[in-house]
Amino acid sequence: MAKALPRSPLAQPLPRLEPVAGVRLGAVAAQIRYTDRTDLMMMEFVPGTTAAGVFTRSKCPGAPIDWSRAALAQGTARALVVNSGNANVFTGRAGVLATQISAAAAARVVHCAATDVFLASTGVIGEPLNAERISDAMPALHETLTPNGGRMPQTPS
């Protein structure tokens, strides 16, 4: 696993997140690529939340894009899970399996169908995503969810 890099002097703290009705948000360090970095985020939506999406027009979208496009056909969402460190792009069947594992893990803690979970990934391209790190972190991630962002880094008010 790659060693955590020092924080950039250009990094800016996130502004304080105000609660959004019907949304709970949280994040944890799942060690997807680096240790001791918050790299897995979840937004949980109340049942019946309407979903819309805008996606890349790339002819080679990653598995999370394909998954979320398919989920969008229902028009509703219960969760959005975003990981950083690994884009899960150009990973073939392993990438498809990683999306299935990630969506199923989120669905278990949110108590919904996996097809009600949207996924996004950013990071290194071409390396298989270790979905077990996501599924292992999911219970702790779900515990961080709050209307104002759980343990998300925030600036003082």
Predicted confidence (pLDDT) per residue in 73-113, tens digit: 999 999 999 999 999 999 999 999 999 999 999 999 999 99
Residue 5, in any domain of the structure: no
Residue 123, in any domain of the structure: yes
Quickly state the pLDDT bin for 157 (edges 50, 70, 90): very low
Residue 88 belongs to domain spanning: 40-50+61-140
pLDDT digits (tens, 9 = 90+) for 33-50: 998 899 999 999 999 999
Q: How far apart are CA 88 and CA 110, in angstroms?
A: 23
Residue 115, in any domain of the structure: yes
Q: How far apart are CA 6 and CA 9, in angstroms?
A: 9
Quote the number of domains for the chain: 1
* 3-state percent helix, strand, coil for the chain, nearest multiple of 5: 30, 20, 50
Q: How far apart are CA 42 and CA 82, in angstroms?
A: 6
Residue 146, in any domain of the structure: no
Chain centroid, CA 123 distance in Å: 12
- The model carries a pTM of 0.86
Q: How far apart are CA 156 and CA 99, in angstroms?
A: 35
pLDDT digits (tens, 9 = 90+) for 6-30: 888 888 887 877 888 999 999 999 9
Q: What is the CATH number of the domain that holds 87?
A: 3.60.70.12
Residue 67, in any domain of the structure: yes
